[in-house]
Structure 1
Amino acid sequence: MPGQNAPGAIPIPDVEELVALVASYNPKSNGDRLRAAYAYGVAMHDGQFRQSGEPYFCHPVAVARILAEQRLDDDTIITALLHDTIEDTKASYSEISERFGTEVAMLVDGVTKLTNLQLSSLETKQAENFRKLFMAMTKDVRVIVVKMSDRLHNMRTIESMRRDKQHQKARETMDIYAPLAGRMGMQWMREELEDLAFRVLNPEARKSIMVRFIKLQRETGDVIERIMKDMRTVVRKAGLQAEVYGRAKKPYSIWRKMEEKKQGFSRLSDIYGFRVIAADEEDCYRALGAIHQRWRAVPGRFKDYISQPKSNGYRSIHTTVSGRDGKRVEVQIRTSEMHDVAERGVAAHWSYRDGIRYENKFAVAPTEWIATLQDTFESEENHEEFLDAVKLEMYSDQVFCFTPKGDVIKLPKGATPIDFGYAIHTRIGSRCVSARVDGVRVPLWTRLKNGQSIEIITAEGQEPQATWVDIVQTGRARAAIRRALREADRERFIKLGRELARAAFEHVGRKSTDKVLDTAARNLGLENGDDVLANLGMAEITARDLVQAVYPELQKKQGEVVPYRRAVIGLEQGQSFTRAACCEPLPGERIVGITSRGQGVIVHAINCDTLIDYDDQPERWVDLHWHSGTHEAAYGVTLDMTIGNDAGVLGRICTLIGEKKANISDLEFVDRKPDFYRLLVRVDLGDIEQLHSLMVMLEAESEVAAIARLRGVSPGVPGPGEPSRKMRAKAGVQTP
């Protein structure tokens, strides 16, 4: 018979215990369905054992019991009993659907898919899987509730795992499952998961807290019982019918407070928590008044989540009070219905009482709760950014601020005026330049507090700044800022790419038209011409790739190089040329010539400021352009660079320059500071494309703080045709 065990084996819990537990809150539960699911699970897992040596099916029964203690429906309990069958046994989706219904089959399949997500793998994959986890919620939150209960039982029995596996599961629990339980409003589960993970990750710290706590109890006696008795007396004198409960906080909660406040255990005062369960909302506020009359309220530690509930339905009044001995205690005041939601969160939606679905007016419908998450996360395109936003939202507490019209805006703790602006509208956040908090103008990085009135000051033309990403706290603001920055970068790269494309096609005697760019896009597998230009500007494709994609027959044979003396077309017979020291044009840039006695033709970039001096001498202007093809690396350019002052940095920079086939002809330090160097590097290049590629690569290096092309200035002592001392001084460079 299924469920029987071999002599001496660890027994599987009796199904009748589970059936009785479910019937205690749901007399209309279908016991036969539960028994059938139990028997099917036993049969499927027959011969399988956990690492502890007990029959494997003990685990699904334990998970089902955890869910039954939360008073969940039959389908969820059956899902728990069968949650590993599709993954670990010969059971199939269709068979489960046929035996127990489509809803159960879908739930079991959903849990199976979540189990197969390796959430503790590499960061990118973790982020991608985290997105899938949230997408699974949109189908049925019960999938996550079952998975959370599965993780809870695994953490309760983690001792039988290998030590490295324990650490992996504990870190995953601390980073993902515990905060997710908190975000779902299942606070009791969050606290237990955190403490179980803490036991594995930092056993010495946990043991230390436990020892100190026991010592404190010996010294002070049963503080909890004394305060509970005192608090009951206070509320009864106020004519209230209310229950008072007290407890010491979990070791991990105490440890976290010690870390946050940078205080030792002996200085940590609020390690006790008390709950007052009142008859109705009015009595909650009356109880608050009575407690504040008896004990002194601690400023800044009051939160009213009854008038401003959290998105997961949580309602309660929080206050911290201090007694005559200076000992602080936290007090939460709520009704029994609020307490039910506070303990079980989103799971309270499926509560059963006396055989019928209990309609708790404070329980949030899962679809509404999921909608609040989707608003935050759906705009994130990048997996790492999505993970960042999720963790921000899950760990956040809330503050409530007001618009000038009195509307309430919910924000996470630590939010700034920028977050506030984006919470109202993306346009307001993006154009935010300053803010007034309670009438006083404050900087944008100010951390907002409960009850403040915020007025956002905007300006036309203001755009989101890159520094805002590190200032804001909400996923919505961060997503909008990153999106705006990406769009701004794209416009910048398109503009740069357009100039590079023009130069590249002029090299081969063609024009860079929209039609040409669209043809290149098709041949390169890109969407349109703008994509081509953006990729060219970002150095994802080269100018040679672009020309090759449209005019492959015009590309020069490999190894054919245009010598310096033949680089310019448009000179008269026997006429020589010199690159202008003021602008140092490179092949690929548009050029014009100015005749000069003794120096032949001076070649200037078409946008060189010096050309203004020759506006009234048109006879000296010569129409020139560069010879098409690959030019030899004989064209000097000066790079103005700021690099970190660390060992080996300069060597790495020089290596990178060499890798781009550029030759360093001179180098001069112009500013030395303890943390950075500013230097001028003279490099010999072949064309503007090579310069652009080199600068993009150097700009991407973490050791390079700034880089720019410096025209008209060369390191070292100026030689023939090089910039004068006056020009070097004008550029802010000291000449020896």
Structure 2
Amino acid sequence: MPEEPAYQVFLDSLDYLSPVDVERIKAAYAFAARAHASQTRMSGEPYVTHPLAVASAVVGWRMDAEAVCAALLHDVLEDTGATKSELAERFGKEVAELVDGLSKLDKMEFASYQEAQAENFRKMLMAMARDLRVVLIKLADRQHNLRTMSAMRADKRARIARETLEIYAPIALRLGLNKLYRELQDICFRLLYPHRAEVLAKALKAAHGNRRELLTRILDGIKGKLESAGLRAEVFGREKSLYSIFRKMKDKQLSFSQVLDIYGFRVVVDNVPTCYLALGALHALYKPVPGKFKDYVAIPKANGYQSLHTTLIGPYGTPVEVQIRTREMHNVAQEGVAAHWLYKDSEESGADLQVKTHKWLESLLEMQGSDSAEFFENVKIDLFPDEVYVFTPKGRIMAMPAGATVVDFAYAVHTDVGHHCSAARVNHELAPLRTELRNGDLVEIITSLQATPNPAWLTYVKTGRARSKIRHFLRTMRNEESARLGERLLRQELLSLGVVPISIPADAWDQLVKSGGQKSIEEVYAEIGLGKRLPSVVARRLLARENLVTETPSGMTLAIHGTEGMAIQLARCCQPIPGDPIVGSIRKGTGLVIHAHDCPTIRRSRSAEPQKWIDVEWEPEEGKLFDVRIKVEVKKTRGVLGQVAAAIAEAGSNIEYVSMDTDPERMFMLLHFTIQVSHRTHLAAVMRGMRHIPDVSRIARERGSET
């Protein structure tokens, strides 16, 4: 058995575990030492020093024997010939599952580093959702790798540091591991910006010396005030981390001397009532800054963090940040979910925090439908450190990321509420769906069975959950609509070739699906509807083995209703309406785009690529309205805009948009309207109504101004 000093220190730290557990851990270390015997780290040290350091961090959190064994064995599946079944046989299924959750997906082929990173991240989150110990071991692994990165290439160091700042540090914060979060940030800052970190560290040291007298005076003042109030408390100063100072300077464009809240004070008391008594005493000592008080005791952060935060105006006008908390809150604030194992006296709050964390992880796994890169992007969005707290009509508190909107809230309540939200009341007043939520808002969602997600929502939602659900819905709807359109296009093509689709044998359809690599005929239809495959090519391939083609094509046209959804789009350039002669263009990835026959923007394309154009005709559904642009030249007289708007309304049309071009030197001005009409005859009636106004000199339909 090895006798290295680090190993002996490690064994001495296992005093909280039973002798049986210690023997299992010794066996795991021996297995790891043998498995990694021929390997060294880039620094030249034996490789086993790394798993030993990771296991030591896990022991520092006083985690169970399974977690310690998994930490010692976390690289054996990746870097040695060991298998999961071998680990399960020797150390139990639980340890094998933990190690497997920690292993990267090395054996799979990925198109890029980003794709591999995204898929590894997805696997880690799935393992985390099953067992929270996975992420704690992973974070300890990342912490030791960062501490020992000096021998690595500069570009690799920078890549790993950026990945840590983007993913692992926010996860540590989300799990309440504040001490680890600060260390990861500071190490990455030194790796990415060594010169800036050195300059900032020197400035901080100098500032500490310059402000020592002031800080001592404030500290003594706080201690004296609490003692005179009869409150027992532990008071100590705390320093902002280098990275948080750097971020504040960068985000707010400040110089170092302008960052006044580099130092703060922490007051640790015995119980919750004393927190509020201490707050009152300190507000009597120094004046509080209005709007700078936050009560995270009554409303804890999503990661379990609890404290009272206040900013006071100290001597010489210096702002003083103070955090007031109990000992239990302090343990959770420093160690987060690890406090469950570390502090037995805070077992209850630690267990509650673990339940909350599992709920959060399960909510992340609901985004699994998207591809790895999209999932990765959604989760990164979800790791917001800043939060606002809003209330449901029943008084339930919900934590949302800063900048979250009403739509984000709707999806946080339930996916179906999000899909069908049509309006909202914020603090009992109607509010647009894009309204950003603020602390304390009371939010009520109004739903409608007819409402469906709008692609425009993606431009303002903030949570990964909402973004993922909206994208999934739109993708599903688009595929379904595209499949219906593709089926109609293929049917029309077959009929034009003189073949009735029902007469084609089943094996010909099966062969068509197999030859294209699709899973079903629905996928073939969807590809036709999205313009990825031409119906004429698919039809001829389908009929290649069958002698079914007649010599005389029927020349059929496709009927469209205007209510097909995303699969059929009316071109923005000419905005065709029922009654206009129309033609359809199959555009790859978009589907069928309908243009007016005389649209100026398609002339060249129609002659260059005739195979992409198909004949279509209107078969509009009752009650459907279509947008159309018109321009109206009017004399500059008082109330003329009102007269025109009234004429449009009288003709049964809605105004969607209006703008005007005016020239001070001319007697006339040009009004541009987007109005909604049922068909071409309805548009003519609207225009007739406007011609009766004496100050209207000219009316015309606008085309081709938008491509």
| Rounded Cα–Cα distance in structure 2 between residues aligned with 1:638 and 1:83 | 58
**CA shift in 2, pair 1:223/1:90, >3 Å:** farther
Letter in 1 for 2:399: K
1:125-524 matches, within 5 Å, as: 125-221=116-212, 223-351=214-342, 359-364=347-352, 366=354, 369-382=357-370, 383-459=372-448, 461-512=450-501, 520=509, 523-524=512-513
Q: In 1, are the aligned partners of 2:584 and 2:613 still within 8 Å (CA)?
A: no
Please list the CA deviations of residues 564-613 of structure 1 after superposition, one character each: whole Å capped at 9, or x if unmatched: xxx987xxxxxxxxxxxxxxxxx66369xxxxxxxxxxxxxxx98379xx
Q: In 1, are the aligned partners of 2:17 and 2:65 still within 8 Å (CA)?
A: no
Q: In 1, are the aligned partners of 2:102 and 2:124 still within 8 Å (CA)?
A: no
Query: 2:538 corresponds to which residue?
Result: 546
Deviation of 1:214 after TM superposition, in Å, equals 2.7
- Tell me the SS of whatever aligns to 1:361: helix
Q: What is the aligned residue count?
A: 597
1:468-617 matches, within 5 Å, as: 468-512=457-501, 520=509, 523-525=512-514, 526=518, 530-553=522-545, 589=557, 609=579
TM score, norm. by length of structure 2: 0.74
Query: 1:649 corresponds to which residue?
Result: none
Please list the CA deviations of residues 652-710 of structure 1 after superposition, one character each: whole Å capped at 9, or x if unmatched: xxxxxxxxxxxxxx997xxxxxxxxx897463167564469xxxxxxxxxxxxxxxxxx
Q: In 2, are the aligned partners of 1:73 and 1:351 still within 8 Å (CA)?
A: no
Deviation of 1:153 after TM superposition, in Å, equals 1.0
| Rounded Cα–Cα distance in structure 2 between residues aligned with 1:500 and 1:485 | 22
Q: Which has the larger radius of gyration?
A: 1
**CA shift in 2, pair 1:100/1:267, >3 Å:** same
| Rounded Cα–Cα distance in structure 2 between residues aligned with 1:251 and 1:508 | 74
| Rounded Cα–Cα distance in structure 2 between residues aligned with 1:292 and 1:515 | 85
Q: In 2, are the aligned partners of 1:518 and 1:529 still within 8 Å (CA)?
A: no
Q: In 1, are the aligned partners of 2:197 and 2:242 still within 8 Å (CA)?
A: yes
**CA shift in 2, pair 1:215/1:351, >3 Å:** closer
**CA shift in 2, pair 1:521/1:396, >3 Å:** farther
Deviation of 1:731 after TM superposition, in Å, equals 4.8
Deviation of 1:410 after TM superposition, in Å, equals 2.0
Deviation of 1:253 after TM superposition, in Å, equals 1.1
Deviation of 1:375 after TM superposition, in Å, equals 2.2
Deviation of 1:242 after TM superposition, in Å, equals 1.9
Q: In 2, are the aligned partners of 1:277 and 1:333 still within 8 Å (CA)?
A: yes
Q: In 2, are the aligned partners of 1:637 and 1:683 still within 8 Å (CA)?
A: no
Deviates more, 1:176-185 or 1:312-321: 312-321
Query: 2:2 corresponds to which residue?
Result: 3
Query: 2:667 corresponds to which residue?
Result: none
- Tell me the SS of whatever aligns to 1:534: helix
RMSD: 4.2
Please list the CA deviations of residues 388-414 of structure 1 after superposition, one character each: whole Å capped at 9, or x if unmatched: 221122234321111233232221121
- Tell me the SS of whatever aligns to 1:3: coil
Deviation of 1:162 after TM superposition, in Å, equals 1.7
Q: In 2, are the aligned partners of 1:13 and 1:58 still within 8 Å (CA)?
A: no
Letter in 1 for 2:12: A
Deviation of 1:138 after TM superposition, in Å, equals 2.8
**CA shift in 2, pair 1:89/1:262, >3 Å:** same
Provide structure 1 residue ranges, at least 5 long, that are not aligned to the other structure: 5-11, 570-586, 592-606, 612-635, 642-665, 669-677, 693-711, 713-727
**CA shift in 2, pair 1:156/1:733, >3 Å:** closer
| Rounded Cα–Cα distance in structure 1 between residues aligned with 2:111 and 2:316 | 46
Deviation of 1:53 after TM superposition, in Å, equals 2.6
Deviation of 1:26 after TM superposition, in Å, equals 5.2
Deviation of 1:163 after TM superposition, in Å, equals 1.4
Q: In 2, are the aligned partners of 1:44 and 1:91 still within 8 Å (CA)?
A: yes
TM score, norm. by length of structure 1: 0.71
Q: In 1, are the aligned partners of 2:295 and 2:309 still within 8 Å (CA)?
A: yes
Q: Percent identity?
A: 38
| Rounded Cα–Cα distance in structure 1 between residues aligned with 2:317 and 2:134 | 46
Q: In 2, are the aligned partners of 1:158 and 1:166 still within 8 Å (CA)?
A: yes
Query: 1:576 corresponds to which residue?
Result: none
Please list the CA deviations of residues 406-438 of structure 1 after superposition, one character each: whole Å capped at 9, or x if unmatched: 232221121111112222233433343443333
Query: 1:656 corresponds to which residue?
Result: none
- Tell me the SS of whatever aligns to 1:552: coil
Q: In 2, are the aligned partners of 1:520 and 1:532 still within 8 Å (CA)?
A: no
Q: In 2, are the aligned partners of 1:514 and 1:529 still within 8 Å (CA)?
A: no
Deviation of 1:352 after TM superposition, in Å, equals 6.4
Deviation of 1:192 after TM superposition, in Å, equals 0.7
| Rounded Cα–Cα distance in structure 1 between residues aligned with 2:303 and 2:504 | 54
